[in-house]
Amino acid sequence: MGLSIAIVGSGPSGFYTAEAVLEKWSDCTVDIVEKLPTPYGLIRYGVAPDHAKTKTVAKSYEKLALDPRVRFFGNVEAGKDVSVAELRERYDAVVLATGCSTDKKLGIRGDDKKGVLGCAAFVNWYNGLPAARDLAPPLDTESVVVVGVGNVAIDVARVLVKTPEEMAATDLMEHAARAIHASPIKQVYMAGRRGPLHAQFTNVELREMGHLKDAAAIVDPAQLPETIPDEAKAEFSDRQLRLIQRNIDTLRDFAKAAPGARKKRVHFVFFANPVEILGGERVTGVRFEKTKMEKGRATGTGEFFEIPCGLVIPAIGYYSLPVPGVPWEGGKAINKDGRIEPGLYCVGWIKRGPSGVIGTNKPDGDEAADQIAADTGGAGKGKPGRAGLEALLAARKVRVVSFADWKRIEAAEVARATPPAPRRKFATVAEMLAALDASGSAAAPARAAAQAD
Ligand code: NAP
């Protein structure tokens, strides 16, 4: 008898797990349980709206979703509509792929002031995650400090300074476009507590900052090393050193380039450790301690400086929220190589924390499949699987959104877009479901996936 496998979460790590188990067992069934009516998680709500090429990976996930062995249970929240324990009772294996959804806090004085907004909240807002619809970030400021020098910090800085024309062919949410493009933002400071050798952004993303229509990238050449120092050569691999050299070369190009007529600035500020958010109720600036590097770590120099701003966006990493009934520690599920317990597995950011690119999730899926193979021998135990979940959700009157339903929602988003925008995303779940109803779907309000597809 084939294995019945439930995957919770339909982002990259969920789909790579589906791919791995479908390849391993031709007779398995895979049910993907997703809180939202929309699949793809981070691809839809995390990847920057102007990075359309990165989002094309969703095409390969769609192929998997259309595999006859796979069923998408959208609009079904694990922990609310169905518990993890109930999934475990019904499936031979349950794989958690719920990603990271909350911001790591700066943990410094003043970080609770109005005008300090975590990057997860901000990115979700401009990408249209329904829960972030009403964030209303205070963009009524000329100056923004983004803490961190990783790829998320770069995404945030770039989206803040790109022109409406540069964003026209993207799926930036219209509420975000209106607010960002009406804002007086002129200066964006990206602050790294370590130096340029230890910046986390990748070179393609960094170089983009040199090609913005109305914003110049500003770098203090005094912060760039003439050559990579010997101690760094001991700290990094040859491959890392080549990537670091590329970043240094790009930053040097920025330092040399004239801003020309561009009105906005993105400043790269290194050796700057935030120690206090300044202001009264609302942020007025950030106080930094200058740092120097000792054995790869930033240590304070006792010298301080301030950057005035009305908005602070820490882009310093994420935590995942605990899934009820699952052992959790330090923002991750407690697991050994992806196994939480026999029958329960995890992949992606809840397994290993918020690092790596989309493809980094692929080996996680392979590893989960190996763990499932080791625990089950590849044979199902005759659990009810899909039929059991359908019956439970129908009894609870949960409105399940099937993959075919999602395709109707997607078609409606594409149809209402103004070219060259590829789609105009719905901002709330209610809008998505209304569009589905209007599309002529056979969906009834209390319909379970049994009738889907
Ligand atoms: P990240 O790459 O880990 O960068 C986090 C940044 O925050 C680092 O500069 C880090 O400095 C800094 N930081 C952490 N804690 C801090 C603190 N308490 N005070 C001050 N600074 C602090 O994380 P991310 O930018 O969130 O990205 C997450 C993952 O997604 C990464 O693997 C990234 O490459 C990937 N991603 C990729 C893309 C893309 O490919 N285009 C886009 C977005 C995200 P230290 O280094 O000193 O800790």
Q: What is the pLDDT of residues 278-321, one digit of tens each?
A: 999 999 999 999 999 998 899 999 999 999 999 999 999 998 88
Ligand 1 atom index nearest CA of 51: 41
Contact 14, 7 (CB under 8 A): yes
Stretch (H or E) spanning 358: none
pLDDT given at position 321: 87
Higher-pLDDT residue of 350 and 444 is: 350
pLDDT at 450 over 60: no
Q: Does the CB atom of residue 354 touch ligand 1 within 6 A?
A: yes
Per-residue buried b or exposed e for 426-445, using 16+ beta carbons within 10 Å of the residue's own CB: bbebebbbebbeeeebebee
How far is the centre of ligand 1, averaged over its atoms, from the C-alpha of 118 (Å)? 13
Mean pLDDT of the 25-31 span: 98
How far is the centre of ligand 1, averaged over its atoms, from the C-alpha of 287 (Å)? 20
How far is the centre of ligand 1, averaged over its atoms, from the C-alpha of 151 (Å)? 6
Atom 31 in ligand 1: residue holding the nearest Cα: 355
3-class DSSP state for residue 288?
A: strand
Ligand 1 atom index nearest CA of 149: 9
Give the chain's domains with CATH numbers. Answer: 4-101+320-438 (3.40.50.720), 103-316 (3.50.50.60)
* Distance set, CA 91 to CA 5, 88, 130, 187, 281 (Å): 6, 5, 29, 53, 50
Atom 28 in ligand 1: residue holding the nearest Cα: 355
pLDDT at 448 over 60: no
pLDDT given at position 250: 98
Q: Does the CB atom of residue 193 touch ligand 1 within 6 A?
A: yes
Mean pLDDT of the 17-35 span: 98
How far is the centre of ligand 1, averaged over its atoms, from the C-alpha of 347 (Å)? 20
Q: Does the CB atom of residue 41 touch ligand 1 within 6 A?
A: no
pLDDT digits (tens, 9 = 90+) for 173-213: 999 999 999 999 999 999 999 999 999 999 999 999 999 99
pLDDT digits (tens, 9 = 90+) for 395-428: 999 999 999 999 999 999 999 999 999 999 999 9
What is the identity of the amino acid at 327? P
pLDDT given at position 249: 98
How far is the centre of ligand 1, averaged over its atoms, from the C-alpha of 166 (Å)? 25
| Residue 433 confidence class, pLDDT cut points 50, 70, 90 | very high
Q: What is the DSSP letter of 301?
A: E
3-state helix, strand, coil split of the chain in percent (to 5) is 35, 20, 40
Stretch (H or E) spanning 155: helix 151-161
pLDDT given at position 382: 94
Average pLDDT, the chain: 95
Write out the DSSP string of 229-273.
-HHHHHHS-HHHHHHHHHHHHHHHHHHHS--TT--EEEEEE-SEE
Q: What is the DSSP letter of 110?
A: T
pLDDT at 441 over 80: no
Q: Which residue has the tokens 């149809």?
A: 415
Give the span between the Cα atoms of 446 and 386, in whole angstroms. Answer: 18
Contact 183, 136 (CB under 8 A): no
**Taking CA 118 as the corner, what is the angle to CA 134 and CA 205, rounded to the nearest 5 degrees?**
110
Mean pLDDT of the 248-261 span: 96
Rounded to 5 degrees, what are φ and ψ at 153? -60, -45
| Residue 447 confidence class, pLDDT cut points 50, 70, 90 | very low
Q: Does the CB atom of residue 315 touch ligand 1 within 6 A?
A: yes
Contact 100, 318 (CB under 8 A): yes
pLDDT given at position 443: 45
Share of the chain above pLDDT 70, in %: 97
Mean pLDDT of the 430-442 span: 88
Ligand 1 atom index nearest CA of 316: 7
